[in-house]
Chain A
């Protein structure tokens, strides 16, 4: 693709190189540690489900029992499957129940006992990974049998708190032309150190992410996909303290996209930075295997920081997200890098600035399914002006070939959208898509003009910031308030107590299988995605 902005390829290469340099020490940190949630994710992939009578999942009870007894520095798998063999328990669930009752003695086995435990653990986890592979193959098959909608995909949110209310709303949204349905999570969930169980009917400003809720919604959207003759994607959030476990459940239940940002939890949820980076790596390994497209959260920086002054922090974060994602095994077509249309409309040339930023991101990540977020900060309550602003957002999205458009609501910030707000929003995007969908091919900013200059300035600022971060260290930069103008020290925030240094002999059967590479190279669901993305 020829650059419409005349970007210097050398500068782009340098930006990537600096991002790698900034990210590598963090990757080393991640590979030297594990977390409570990663260990619980191993148990989940191995098939341990359900919760005790207080609603505490058995994976928590078992991992906690192991941690109290022999610690998790060797991983949960070695002591757990050793105890399974030694105690003659029929399955993990029975082991967890007995462990919760204090009836199980754990140890770190050696020699042939360790080998036996390892072998059994690998077998159990491999069965779970096979389920993830089968779900991925099923997605590929469904997309082949039905149709894959053209980009930009229309992304709509449902959030009633009740999965049984969410389902008809999601189905209605799909019929009204939504290509991607996101079920917003209950607000409190990011800081829960366990994943709730079962179908849930109560949540705050969203619906809990649970395995059963995932299954119910995916089944409903499968039905609607067949009805509509196109595959409707489902999105949820692999973030918060249980990021690795939710990633595993998403793979097992065939979610299609997951919000998964390398720094969002740190900045906006005050989750410990070290915990986040460790959890993030494992969760991305799972997403890579499951063929899930991740969505990153750079749009959020612009809701706190000024979208003009901080435009380069978005690019820097995208480059970091890209480095961490590729390092974890994700492919370019899986990188739904985020950005947003948040510049104050009162700023002169605000639309030109938005075009410059959006086109810059498009050119920096040509194969990535970029996720473009609508205005929220300057939706003032004047719904008529808001509707116009949303139309300009949609126009910028089609002109710069964004891949996923989150649909803006004119009532943003006033109340949860009325049925009519959603319908009007879809009418807005359909009009822009039908009227100007091919404008991108003719949108070529004047050489040396305002848009080109602005894009080059943002890229230059990004390189300068990446240089600083690669010199002082990413954790130091986060502590200094570089992103979202919020300071988050490496020893602060929640979840640090769940970070564990790996001992020599640390064993994680899931990581071993995931790092050994995929058993499924063919039938790439989104090979078509990257092609459409690049050609549109």
Chain B
């Protein structure tokens, strides 16, 4: 706690001096930048936009015509807006981040068998980069993919898998979790595909009794992690997700914790 919580919670952008409120933006306007009159008008247009964005004073530091009809601007200026840190809401990660050894341990202890993951790109999406980065042993960002985890069995169905095939294959493999990656977002395809997928898993399950479809996880650069419920899935991972985060989540969600490991971020073996 600081002595003056009110000022501590209110901040402005920092250029080179505390509280100067300075920022930089760039944008394009559909205006020509040819004749001197064009240029004057274009820069005036950029200043007007900057003003409406709350930049006061603003300075157009760069303007360049792009073809006959467009102009690109870089603008520096001072914003009058304040940021109230007390009003910032953050979605906390609800699961502890575990090392591969801890994930394996937790699966062994909590599940008593290998955890089965079926992964795919569904619909027309042929971009397997995302799912491969999570599943392939190679992984990314210095983290090995799920294939590297001894206690996880990975079935990667690859690209453009039809939803009915995904449901059937998941049942055949005894999937604990289904990972679906969606890169293509044109016409909101990632949303509709995810909804179609979750509905298909529900439709394939008996109507009564406890839930018996796998954990449904989707990922892709354009997903909003807060919209899981709207898509009917259990978890959404956004851009920059690493294999370790996914593995930790799967262990958290599927392998009931058998003790002290619930305390999060404990060292390997703490619960063993």
**Interface segment, one of B7-15, B83-91, B96-104, B119-127:** B119-127
Cβ 8 A contact of A172, one of B67, B136, B159, B160? B67
The answer for the CA separation of A521 and B99 in the assembled complex, in Å, is 63
The answer for the CA separation of A381 and B158 in the assembled complex, in Å, is 26
Could you tell me if A205 and B66 are in contact, using CB atoms closer than 8 angstroms? no
**Is B39 an interface residue when CB atoms closer than 8 A count as contact?**
no
The answer for the CA separation of A420 and B29 in the assembled complex, in Å, is 10
Cβ 8 A contact of B136, one of A161, A204, A304, A413? A304
Could you tell me if A304 and B126 are in contact, using CB atoms closer than 8 angstroms? no
Most buried by A among B64, B126, B136, B187: B126
Could you tell me if A191 and B66 are in contact, using CB atoms closer than 8 angstroms? no
The answer for the CA separation of A188 and B64 in the assembled complex, in Å, is 38
Q: Write out the residue numbers on chain A whose beta carbons fall within 8 Å of the beta carbon of B223.
A: none
**Is B138 an interface residue when CB atoms closer than 8 A count as contact?**
yes
The answer for the CA separation of A418 and B160 in the assembled complex, in Å, is 28
**Is B186 an interface residue when CB atoms closer than 8 A count as contact?**
yes
Could you tell me if A268 and B128 are in contact, using CB atoms closer than 8 angstroms? yes
Residue of B nearest to A303 (CB): B129
How many residues on B have C-beta within 8 angstroms of the other chain's C-beta atoms? Answer: 29
Could you tell me if B129 and A419 are in contact, using CB atoms closer than 8 angstroms? no
The answer for the CA separation of A306 and B136 in the assembled complex, in Å, is 12
Q: Is the interface of B mostly helix, strand, loop or mixed?
A: loop
Q: Give 1 or 0 for each of B129-152: 1 = CB within 8 Å of chain A CB.
A: 100100011101000000000000
How many residues on A have C-beta within 8 angstroms of the other chain's C-beta atoms? Answer: 30
**Is A116 an interface residue when CB atoms closer than 8 A count as contact?**
no
**Is A305 an interface residue when CB atoms closer than 8 A count as contact?**
yes
Could you tell me if B126 and A190 are in contact, using CB atoms closer than 8 angstroms? yes
The answer for the CA separation of A486 and B157 in the assembled complex, in Å, is 11
The answer for the CA separation of A204 and B121 in the assembled complex, in Å, is 14
Q: Give 1 or 0 for each of B174-198: 1 = CB within 8 Å of chain A CB.
A: 0000000000101101000000000
What is the number of contacts between chain A and chain B, taking CB atoms within 8 Å? 68
**Is A11 an interface residue when CB atoms closer than 8 A count as contact?**
no
Residue of A nearest to B158 (CB): A270
**Is B72 an interface residue when CB atoms closer than 8 A count as contact?**
yes
A157 → chain B closest CB, angstroms: 15
Interface positions, chain B 201-236, Cβ under 8 Å from A, are 221
**Is B48 an interface residue when CB atoms closer than 8 A count as contact?**
no
The answer for the CA separation of A305 and B138 in the assembled complex, in Å, is 7
Cβ 8 A contact of B189, one of A204, A268, A305, A486? A204
Residue of B nearest to A488 (CB): B158
**Is B95 an interface residue when CB atoms closer than 8 A count as contact?**
no
Q: Give 1 or 0 for each of A176-197: 1 = CB within 8 Å of chain B CB.
A: 1000000000111011000000
Q: Write out the residue numbers on chain B whose beta carbons fall within 8 Å of the beta carbon of A187.
A: 124-127, 184
Instruction: Report 19 cross-chain contacts, Cβ distance below 8 Å, ordered by A residue.
Output: A172-B67, A175-B67, A176-B66, A187-B127, A188-B126, A190-B126, A191-B126, A191-B160, A204-B124, A270-B160, A304-B129, A304-B136, A377-B140, A420-B66, A420-B72, A423-B64, A485-B136, A485-B137, A486-B158
